[in-house]
Amino acid sequence: MSEEATKQDNGEETAASQSQHFIKEIINGDLEEGRYELVHTRFPPEPNGYLHIGHAKSICLNFGLAEDYKGQCNLRFDDTNPSKEEQEYVDSIIEDVHWLGFDWEDRLFYASDYFDTLYEYAVRLIEKGLAYVCDLSAEETREHRGTLTEPGKNSPFRERSIEENLDLFTRMKAGEFPDGTRTLKAKVDMTHPNLNMRDPVMYRILHAEHHRTGDKWCIYPMYDFTHGQSDSIEGITHSICTLEFEDHRPLYNWYIEKLGIYAPRQIEFARLNLSFTVTSKRRLLELVTEGRVSGWDDPRMPTISGIRRRGYTPESIRAFSARIGVAKRDSMVDMALLEHYVREDLNRRAPRYLAVLNPLKVVITNYPEGQSEMLEAVNNPEDPDAGTREIPFSKTLYIERDDFMEDPPRKFFRLAPGREVRLRYAYFIKCDEVVKDENGEIVELRCSYDPETRGGHAPDGRKVKATIHWVSADHAVDAEVRLYDRLFSVENPLAEEGDWHSYLNPKSLEIRENCKLEPALAGHDKGFFCQFERLGYFCIDPDSSEGKAVFNRTATLRDPWKNIQKRQK
């Protein structure tokens, strides 16, 4: 295949999946120039926490690029700091990437796989006079580094002989020295304007148990001395990372060049920021450890496991990732966009049911006592193949409290005294009487139905302004429903004054214990999702048990009435 043809093919793939972002332009250029022959990327998380929606963007980018260019993408754990990393995190990351729908085949790697090679590389730099063992303490090292505006000064240990360095480094590895007493540093330039180039630490002493290598090592390579070489070893062509590593690129290239090994290209893009939440492992970890949420997979969390439990689909996450694009400018994507993509996906696929989350009892006064009948309902108006089902109707029903107002404002179309509405798939009913308790609380509505309107059609052609959902009291299934809202009540809690914790949305979780569901909603397992008509999309939570269903609200439906109410206030 000619170069021209290859390029054309890639162009077509591109149009189908992602937009033509700057990384693809760089890749196309590299391919044209013959710098690389095929595209090989990698997703390199540190197993020190759960993955979040920001990682999803990176995963979709890296694996998506591999798909687009018919290349490959590795999964690699950047596990060079045993004090923060755990097997639990490794397991969750593997599950999350799979769930998103990506496959690394047999290319699951760990930076710790390369510890021996990395050690050899370090020795090679010492032998070239490009690395030295430094006895400065952490604090002294900081003092020698200089500041943003002043140059640093050389370490007194900088000119040690190669033999001494080799000896000391060997003894570091052998465990002769306590933590923090020595480091191996690269000999670059203490006056370099880029602080990363001022004799960066390559190895530190850390007598810690590593989740994979156990106690084999007591010295561990730093990120900068690991990442590029790992990319090189795996034959990565394009090493894509976030913006904060931009200043590390010169060092990335320096190690590769001095080592004389294969050179990948590092490209940086802007990490995802999402409104009404935080996307930083550190802060998410805080929310978990401080008990602000129930765990990493709390459905309010922007973690992949939280989003999954919330009921988001991998398809919607991928569509979202493709749409937000890839660029270098800092941005804050609107949470509404993510919500849009779940709704779009679920609208197409979710079967509809009737469920009442805040029940108000309705008695149909002219319906015969003890009688019931089955009414036909459409399962999914978006999908003709989804068929129909039957719903029981009887004299006593529940409707949503929000669907009745004793003194309705303008533009409220639902039930009110003397007003007629349609019960979805059932009959027209009219509210004749409002029953209250001693506190003035409405406890029951007494309504009459029109038998001629069975199925929801009026033979005389008269119209009603609203159709509301309902459940037959005698046939209802009880359930707990958890209503989730945004985790924070402001767009960007980190940009607000004071502690970001104080902007946590106190109403981010509302538990409804006494929900009434139509019978067809009984007996579903984890993984089941549906739409409760007029309310939103819901899924079964893993907390469900044989006797008690627990549903999570994934997303509400679009709700113009809510906007009208806001404006009326």
List active site positions: 46, 271, 281
Can residue 137 be called a binding residue for RNA (CB under 7 A)? yes
Contacts of the segment 31-38: beta carbons below 8 A, 24+ positions apart: 31/3, 31/6, 31/7, 31/69, 32/3, 32/7, 35/265, 36/237, 36/238, 36/265, 38/69, 38/70, 38/71, 38/72, 38/237
Scan for tokens 């003397």, then name that residue. 418
Nearest to 229 by CA among 115, 320, 128: 115
Can residue 325 be called a binding residue for RNA (CB under 7 A)? yes
**CA separation for the pair 225, 500 (Å, rounded):** 34
Q: Supply the DSSP symbol for 44.
A: -
Can residue 142 be called a binding residue for RNA (CB under 7 A)? yes
Contacts of the segment 253-258: beta carbons below 8 A, 24+ positions apart: 253/228, 254/186, 254/188, 254/197, 255/121, 255/125, 255/186, 255/224, 255/225, 255/228, 255/229, 256/228, 256/229, 256/232, 258/125, 258/128, 258/130
- The span of 5-13, 292-300, 466-474, 540-548 binding RNA (CB under 7 A) equals 466-474
Q: 101 and 321 in contact (C-beta within 8 Å)?
A: no
Can residue 456 be called a binding residue for RNA (CB under 7 A)? yes
**Which of 315, 382, 496, 543 is in the footprint of RNA by CB under 7 A?**
382
Q: Enter the tokens of residue 176.
A: 């002769």
Can residue 32 be called a binding residue for RNA (CB under 7 A)? no
Task: Indicate the SS3 state at residue 377.
Answer: strand
**418-447: contacts with RNA (CB under 7 A):** 422, 424-425
**CA separation for the pair 311, 82 (Å, rounded):** 33
Closer of 152 and 298 to RNA (Cβ): 152
Closer of 16 and 148 to RNA (Cβ): 148
**Which of 340, 446, 512, 524 is in the footprint of RNA by CB under 7 A?**
340
Residue 299 beta carbon to RNA: minimum distance, rounded to whole angstroms: 21
**Which of 11, 129, 156, 455 is in the footprint of RNA by CB under 7 A?**
455
Q: 499 and 287 in contact (C-beta within 8 Å)?
A: no
- The span of 52-60, 61-69, 326-334, 518-526 binding RNA (CB under 7 A) equals 326-334
Hey, which bits of 260-319 come out as E strands?
A: 265-269
Can residue 466 be called a binding residue for RNA (CB under 7 A)? yes
Residue 409 beta carbon to RNA: minimum distance, rounded to whole angstroms: 9
**Which of 174, 332, 374, 511 is in the footprint of RNA by CB under 7 A?**
332
**Which of 92, 279, 305, 531 is in the footprint of RNA by CB under 7 A?**
531
Closer of 332 and 526 to RNA (Cβ): 332
**CA separation for the pair 189, 135 (Å, rounded):** 18
Site string for RNA, 280-309 (x = CB under 7 A): ------------------------------
Site string for RNA, 216-255 (x = CB under 7 A): ----x-xxx-xx---------------xxxxxx-------
Closer of 244 and 257 to RNA (Cβ): 244
Query: What is the total count of residues that contact RNA (CB under 7 A)?
Result: 92
Q: Supply the DSSP symbol for 336.
A: H
Residue 99 beta carbon to RNA: minimum distance, rounded to whole angstroms: 22
